[in-house]
Amino acid sequence: AAADHSPAVIIGTGYGAAVTALRLGAAGVPTVMLEMGKLWNDPAEDGTTFSDMLSPDRRSTWFKDRTEAPLASFLWLDVANHDIDPYAGVLDRVSFGDMSVYVGRGVGGGSLVNGAMAVIPKRSYFEEILPRVDADEMYGQYFPLANSMLGTNHVDPEWFETSRAYRFARVSRKAAHRAGFRTTFVPSVYDFDYMRREEAELVPRSALASEVVYGNNHGKRSLDKSYLAAAVGTGNVTIRTLSEVRDITRQQDGTYVLEVRRIDELGNVLGVHQMSAKHLFLGAGSLGSTELLVRARDTGKLPELGEAVGRGWGTNGNVMLGRANHAWDPVGPLESGMPALGIDAWDRPDPVFAEIAPVPAGLETWASLYLAITRNPERGTFRYDPGADRAVLQWDVDQGQPSIDAAKRVFDRINSVEGTSYRYDLFGDTRAFETRFTYHPLGGLVLGEATDLYGRVAGYDNLYVTDGSLIPGSTGVNPFVTITALAERNIARILAEDVRRT
């Protein structure tokens, strides 16, 4: 074995990884987590840890020389993006031709950059996508456990009605209701009490200072403050940052050997070393975990991996769109970075769950923005590109069309009742619907296909998948609660059956 050995190694520090670390640590298993991004705990001179959203600096973005914000333009002006120095920043946009995937980089993964919406899927839909997972157990035990561990909380409906920061959501709600659609409050892991105090100017602003996709300086219960803090608190879990796993091989005796590349925050390679593990858990996210196994299979390092590895990837049906508001319906210059309301049209023949999203631009935008989650049956496949030594996603732009069609039926009706139109100036050209990026990459190592029903990789003992790559391309709502709850369920079984206490 390599000199550097740990009984358990977890790759990544996102939701699946964090759950797994806490449960291994609490069971007394010495565990090392390897995270390619940095730990976000060292404030700059001005006291901020994360970059400002409106004038982003290098902390915003993972090694690019220009930011790549989701809303490319406003009135076709490229106002959103700024030149920056390459750095181990917190938000990455990974491009595969027709599809770009946003992911978080750093200790906490996506929890550092996401909108904090903590939504449990409709039970009937969950039973449809993962029919062989016991739904009674998930809804009775693991979803509630996930929410309590994540620190999910609810907006006070009375405050919501009066908050200036949610005027944008009330304007969108009025239009949805007039067209006959239902809206629902969305639970969050952003602390709504903190937000109230932000509005009252009692504490430094974060959600109310437009912060979200480049990290929140305050208020958000990201994983580093919940699961990962608890995991490290067991005394059995250590996190190594700026450490990217490049390769996985397996020795004759079954030990896994990882090639780990260490960098500094500027991207200089400090060295490549080997580390070994008895139990190896993949928590590098849908893109990261899938790439590692596609590479291992196709380079012959883990030759027993099957055809299911790399398949069943989807965007959770993501489609973004904006509507133009009437002049008499201003939303005001202050929009909370954290959504709190969604349009629930999931009961339709072509279901839509649309988050009413902020445009936290700090000025009146006359726009209502939505991130709609639809039931898009299209799936992509990852293939290994030996020249680039990278897994490449095969996804065609037309595969976004079912998402557009479903969203269009809902929002055409809203526009027709309101006498409003779409915004054509938000996505860099004149399209009204953006399906060329996703915030919700899911699948690639689907539960029950690339793995057994608990995430054990088919063909290999002591190799597990814990993250969003287990979910078959769609979960019908924002996915992190599903990922967390499924990871809780899986690690409970694996601890009981596979991992001997030390």
Question: Residues interacting with ligand FDA, by CB under 6 A?
Answer: 11-17, 34-37, 102-106, 109-110, 113-117, 213, 244-245, 283-286, 288, 292, 439-440, 467-468, 478-480, 483
SS3 per-residue string spanning 289-334: HHHHHHHHHHCCCCCCCCCCCCEEEECCCEEEEEEECCCCCCCCCC
User: Would you give the end-to-end CA distance of the chain in angstroms?
Assistant: 19
SS3 per-residue string spanning 158-203: HHHHHCHHHHHHHHHHHHHHHCCCEEEECCECECHHHHHHHHCCCC
Q: Which two tokens stand for residue 410?
A: 């809902």
Smallest distance from ligand FDA to CB 421, Å: 26
Given the residues 355, 378, 418, 434, the one annotated as active site = 355
Cβ(40)–Cβ(105) under 8 Å? no
Smallest distance from ligand FDA to CB 178, Å: 26
Quote the CA–CA distance of 68 and 86 in Å, as a whole number. 13
Quote the CA–CA distance of 91 and 112 in Å, as a whole number. 9
Instruction: Name the amino acid, one letter, at 14.
Output: G
Smallest distance from ligand FDA to CB 444, Å: 10
Residue placing its CB nearer to ligand FDA in the complex, 84 or 442 = 442
Quote the CA–CA distance of 287 and 93 in Å, as a whole number. 11
The residue to which tokens 């977890």 are assigned: 10
Residue placing its CB nearer to ligand FDA in the complex, 181 or 437 = 437
Smallest distance from ligand FDA to CB 480, Å: 3
Quote the CA–CA distance of 154 and 139 in Å, as a whole number. 19
Cβ(154)–Cβ(187) under 8 Å? yes
Side-chain-facing half-sphere of 495: CA atoms under 13 Å = 19
How far is C-alpha 471 from the chain's CA centre?
13
Q: Which two tokens stand for residue 248?
A: 């996985």
Instruction: Tell which residue, 95, 36, 85, 83, has the closest CA to residue 59.
Output: 85
Element (H, E) at 224: none
Smallest distance from ligand FDA to CB 500, Å: 26
Smallest distance from ligand FDA to CB 71, Å: 12
Smallest distance from ligand FDA to CB 90, Å: 9
Q: State whether residue 33 is helix, strand or coil.
A: strand
Quote the CA–CA distance of 192 and 416 in Å, as a whole number. 34
Given the residues 211, 244, 440, 488, the one annotated as active site = 440
Residue placing its CB nearer to ligand FDA in the complex, 34 or 305 = 34
Is residue 355 annotated as a catalytic residue, yes or no? yes
Residue placing its CB nearer to ligand FDA in the complex, 23 or 179 = 23
Residue placing its CB nearer to ligand FDA in the complex, 22 or 324 = 22
Q: Which two tokens stand for residue 424?
A: 């054509």
Residue placing its CB nearer to ligand FDA in the complex, 70 or 351 = 70
Residue placing its CB nearer to ligand FDA in the complex, 17 or 195 = 17
Q: Catalytic residue numbers?
A: 355, 440
